[in-house]
Amino acid sequence: MTLIPEYDFKKIFFEPWSTLELCIWNGQIILMGILVCWTCGIVGSFIVVRRMALMGDAISHGILPGLALAFICSGSMALGPMWIGSCVAGITCSFCIEWLRFQTPIKEDAALGLVFTSFFATGVLMLGMEAENAHIDPECILYGEIGFTPLAPDLKLGSLRLGNQALWTMGGVFLSVAIAAVVFYRQILISSFDPILARSMGTPVRQVHLGLMLSLSLATVASLEAVGVILVVAMFVFPAVTASFFFDRLSSIVFFSLPLGLAYSIGGFHLAHWFDCSLAASMVVFAGLLFIPCCFLAPNSGILWKITSLRNVGR
Amino acid sequence: MKPVRSNSSPLTGRCFPWFSIFFLLVCAFINQTLLGAQIQSPVDISLGDRALRFLQMRDYSVRIVAVGSILIGISCGMMGSFVVTRRLSLFGDTLSHAVLPGIAIGFLWVEAKDNLALLIGASMAGFLGVACVTLLKKFSKVRQDSALGLVLSGFYAIGICILTRIQKMEFGNQAGLDTYLFGQVSSLSESDLWGICISLALIVLFMTSNHRELLVSGFDLEFSKSMGLPSEAIQYAMWGLLAFCVISSLQVIGVILASALLIIPAASASLLAKRMSTYILVSALLGAIAGFVGAFLSFLGQRIPTGPLIVVVATTFFLLILFLRPSQGIIVNWLQSRRQSRQIEMENMLKAIYQVMEKQEFSEPAVRMEEVTRRRGVGKDSRAKEIESLIDSGYVSRSYEKNKFAKLPHEQFISLTPKGWENACRIVRNHRLWELYLTNEARYAADHVHEDAEKIEHVLGEETVRKIERLLSNPKKDPHGKLIPSLVDVRKGWLPEFPLNKNE
């Protein structure tokens, strides 16, 4: 068995879809991937234009103690308590960062690095201690396993079986994030690019910021079981940055993250099938593979064009 | 034209790196002495015994663990002080995450956990990651924070992919590579210790030989360029050292939290130290303590990963320093500002008493308490408390007078002691002088000056008051036509039969 298995088109692309059962099983995984990518892509576009990509990183690490606490208190991995716990932790985290930054001589980057590593470490310790007397899987929260999606129980409404619960939850989160993005699009747009103008126009800049933080925590928690807290950063950053090579308008960037999410999920799935490795990680690797040519060849800001034009100028 | 660098210039005076050579010798000595009796498997003994065993250091592996964690703390602390002053904290984080695929590939290469292979792989991946960030920033319109996020998560994902792949291969079971994610100090071996020693020696060598260059280029890059210092080369050398430092500490602290050991001790030290040299020393010391205590706790708890423990210990130290540091600690600051606001409240109360007396045209030596509290406004209780504290500090004395209506409680009267009188006069005087100054000299409208004077009256020093007096040629009345209490009034007590005689 070697590191790079033989490339077999038929095995990689047809085998997962050969029988109906396999189709349903893998379809659920891919659908979950798409929903995660879309949710994170929408939130991520706003985060990236606000230059808060690393804040996203920090929050996604910083919610860990809240998750651990919520799990210890409620004893389940249900979305409700987990979200509340993570919101509390996420807001505390961002509050600590701001406080250190403005009230002490600590610089912004050091404050960020200090707070989120401390929060993360506390969370890992809490999970580690809890793991001894409860059956929570810290690995699941840290790395996620999207392949377990089809194992989730069915959502029941009376006697009606509506299908996979995990998918329904993720779909609900996606819908609420999408609706919020559409409804508050103008406010977010103005407060992202010109907070002073936004304030003079009566836009509640602080509340917009807070709402964005809350939806960031919501997206992170919802996609936690699928991709884990570290890889979720990639889901935030990659679609937005890749889209920004092609588009300048924020709305186009947000919309372009949808086809990108589709591509990441399907491409990552088959990549993982080829290499027989972690599904979530290979989704991110696929995103990286898509990013590289875009970075070089994007029509108006690709590196290649820039270098050639520089050379022309030199002549 | 290159500026001529003379040997007498303070920036080129290098101390020959004797220190680091000496240091290497010490490391070698430590390694030799470590080869003592070995006691295996410290499992199934009680917590107290384990603590005792660790602290007695009779155990070979314990000694390796202790020395290794302390050395890592020192090297990360030293490196961190540069990382934090140059605002590169998040680069450190990205670097440590980007190292993961290198570790995985290094492992694949030799198909076993060989330290050299891992080190080479990790260095290459780390450099590649940093190069990606730099290139993205330089050549594309991706902003720095996004570039860091991209490289961090992208490289990390590649690493996870390869690691999950390795676990499915036939030699993957013995890997134990997951210790690299969160660190496990007990897996530290002698060769790891050598790696740590070498990277620490390199760091010390680099810092002692380039101390001044680092200082200048860290705080003023343009200036250092204009002096002809090789700031670019120094920057790249620093990258390299940072990579070595992070990689050699991965075994103990793990990929995800490696940046914490760089940032937290240095950030805590930045609260304490003003000079770079003390800063580096304090940071190294804090790192060493955090490393040692973290390793100790991890040893006690057996299966708990070391990295988070070290980070939690370091954060605890940070918080202690933040709250308790002598000059500007939060608690000290808080106490100070509380004392100050108490002082201001007391002075305002004295002023209110004076004003009530003035309203009665100083006919009575004592005034009704109610009138004073009414003048100060807001909650009666807190005002009563303020008067209590004034009485305690001897500014005011209190007397009771029987009410005309026998059923009602006694009415409270308060009168100023000489000390209180002096202070009240001083405050009122400051206030009115300042108002006058603002209207006469700064051309403020008379109805705008009160708020400003209300604040400044508490902080005007004796000297400034004299100056203003001279400037306004010893005025008698403020812009609102009220008398300014003069120095003579203060000394005499103004009215002959004033509170003075009542108190005596």
Look up the CATH number of the domain holding residue B398: 1.10.10.10
Chain A: closest CA distance from residue B454 (Å): 27
Instruction: Kindly report the backbone phi and psi dihedral angles of residue A133, in degrees, each rounded to the nearest multiple of 5, phi listed first.
Output: -115, 10
Closest CA to B164 of A273, A221, A150, A226: A273
Closest CA to B267 of B250, B287, B253, B248: B287
* Whether residue B409 sits in one domain with residue B274: no
Q: Does A138 touch chain B (CB under 8 A)?
A: no
Domain boundary among B278, B297, B325: B325
Chain B: closest CA distance from residue A306 (Å): 8
Give the separation between CA A196 and CA A205, rounded to whole angstroms. 9
Contacts of B161 in chain A (CB under 8 A): 275, 277-278, 281-282, 285
* Whether residue B348 sits in one domain with residue B288: no
Chain B: closest CA distance from residue A55 (Å): 9
**At a CB cut-off of 8 Å and minimum separation 6, what does A189 contact?**
A250
**3-class secondary-structure state, position B414:** strand
**3-class secondary-structure state, position B394:** coil
Asked whether the beta carbons of residue A105 and residue B271 sit closer than 8 angstroms, the reply is yes
* Whether residue B454 sits in one domain with residue B407: yes
Asked whether the beta carbons of residue B161 and residue A109 sit closer than 8 angstroms, the reply is no
Tell me which long-range contacts A184-193 makes (C-beta under 8 A, separation of at least 24). Answer: A184/A208, A184/A211, A185/A251, A188/A46, A188/A212, A189/A250, A192/A46, A192/A49, A192/A50, A192/A250, A193/A49
Which residue matches tokens 């006694």? Answer: B410
Q: Which of residues 295-314 of A touch B (CB under 8 A)?
A: 295, 301, 303, 306-307
Asked whether the beta carbons of residue B305 and residue A104 sit closer than 8 angstroms, the reply is no
Q: Does A109 touch chain B (CB under 8 A)?
A: yes
Chain A: closest CA distance from residue B329 (Å): 10
Contacts of A37 in chain B (CB under 8 A): none
Nearest residue of B to residue A1, measured between CA atoms: B169
* Whether residue B246 sits in one domain with residue B317: yes
DSSP annotation string for chain A: --SSPPP-HHHHHTGGGSSHHHHHHHHHHHHHHHHHHHHHHHHHHHHHHTT-HHHHHHHHHHTHHHHHHHHHHH-S--HHHHHHHHHHHHHHHHHHHHHHHHHSS--HHHHHHHHHHHHHHHHHHHHHHHHHHS---HHHHHH--GGGGGGSPEEEETTEEEEEHHHHHHHHHHHHHHHHHHHTHHHHHHHHH-HHHHHHTT--HHHHHHHHHHHHHHHHHHTHHHHHHHHHHHHHHHHHHHHHTT--SHHHHHHHHHHHHHHHHHHHHHHHHHHT--HHHHHHHHHHHHHHHHHHH-TTT-HHHHHHHHHHHH-
- In chain B (504 residues long), the average pLDDT of successive 10-residue segments reads 42 47 58 42 61 72 85 92 86 87 84 74 86 85 87 90 79 60 76 86 89 82 82 82 84 83 92 88 94 85 77 92 80 86 85 82 76 73 76 80 64 79 84 85 81 82 83 78 71 48 39
Asked whether the beta carbons of residue A53 and residue B145 sit closer than 8 angstroms, the reply is yes
Domain boundary among B261, B293, B325: B325
For chain A, the average pLDDT equals: 84
The pLDDT tens digits of the residues spanning A218-239 come to 888 888 778 888 888 899 999 9
Give the separation between CA B56 and CA B61, rounded to whole angstroms. 12
Give the separation between CA A251 and CA A243, rounded to whole angstroms. 11
* Whether residue B316 sits in one domain with residue B381: no
8 Å CB contact between B267 and A101: no
- Residue spans of the domains in chain A: they are 9-314
- Single-letter amino acid, residue A239: P
- Single-letter amino acid, residue B461: G
- Single-letter amino acid, residue A90: G
* Whether residue B392 sits in one domain with residue B477: yes
Q: Does A241 touch chain B (CB under 8 A)?
A: yes
Contacts of A57 in chain B (CB under 8 A): 149, 152-153
* Whether residue B419 sits in one domain with residue B472: yes
Of B90, B140, B271, the CB nearest to A301: B140
Region of poorest pLDDT, from A120-124, A139-143, B374-378, B450-454? A139-143
* Whether residue B45 sits in one domain with residue B124: yes
pLDDT reported for residue A304: 80
**Is position B330 within any domain?**
no
* Whether residue B183 sits in one domain with residue B50: yes
Asked whether the beta carbons of residue A276 and residue B165 sit closer than 8 angstroms, the reply is yes
| CATH number (domain holding residue B100) | 1.10.3470.10
Q: Does A175 touch chain B (CB under 8 A)?
A: no
Contacts of A230 in chain B (CB under 8 A): 97, 153, 156, 256
Chain A: closest CA distance from residue B90 (Å): 6
Asked whether the beta carbons of residue B260 and residue A56 sit closer than 8 angstroms, the reply is no
Q: Which has more pLDDT, A57 or B315?
A: B315
Number of structural domains chain B divides into:
2
Of A117, A277, A285, the CB nearest to B311: A117
| Residue range A9-314, CATH number | 1.10.3470.10
pLDDT reported for residue A199: 87
Contacts of B182 in chain A (CB under 8 A): 124
Give the separation between CA A303 and CA B387, rounded to whole angstroms. 74
Of B87, B164, B308, the CB nearest to A281: B164
The tokens for B22 are 């000496």
* Whether residue B199 sits in one domain with residue B162: yes
Give the separation between CA B315 and CA B244, rounded to whole angstroms. 24
**Is position B34 within any domain?**
yes
Asked whether the beta carbons of residue A285 and residue B156 sit closer than 8 angstroms, the reply is no
Chain A: closest CA distance from residue B347 (Å): 29
Instruction: Kindly report the backbone phi and psi dihedral angles of residue B477, in degrees, each rounded to the nearest multiple of 5, phi listed first.
Output: -130, 145
- Single-letter amino acid, residue B395: Y
Chain B: closest CA distance from residue A49 (Å): 9
Q: Does A117 touch chain B (CB under 8 A)?
A: yes
Domain boundary among B266, B292, B325: B325
* Whether residue B316 sits in one domain with residue B437: no
Reported ipTM exceeds the 0.85 cut = yes
Q: Does A129 touch chain B (CB under 8 A)?
A: yes
**At a CB cut-off of 8 Å and minimum separation 6, what does A30 contact?**
A265, A266, A269
Of B92, B142, B161, the CB nearest to A281: B161
The pLDDT tens digits of the residues spanning A173-218 come to 999 999 999 999 998 999 988 888 888 888 888 889 888 888 888 8
Interface test with A, best of B107, B133, B145 (most A CBs within 10 A): B145
* Whether residue B348 sits in one domain with residue B366: yes
HSE of B502, CA atoms in CB hemisphere, 13 A: 19
The pTM of this model reads 0.77
Give the separation between CA A183 and CA A2, rounded to whole angstroms. 51
Give the separation between CA A98 and CA A114, rounded to whole angstroms. 12
8 Å CB contact between A72 and A126: yes
- Single-letter amino acid, residue B198: I
Structural domain containing residue B446: 335-503
pLDDT reported for residue B492: 60
Q: Which residues of A92-124 are buried (b: 16+ CB within 10 A; e: fewer)?
A: bbbebbeebbeeeebbbbbbbbbbbbbbbbbbb
8 Å CB contact between B377 and B349: no
Contacts of B136 in chain A (CB under 8 A): 295
Give the separation between CA B270 and CA B251, rounded to whole angstroms. 27
Give the separation between CA A124 and CA A132, rounded to whole angstroms. 13
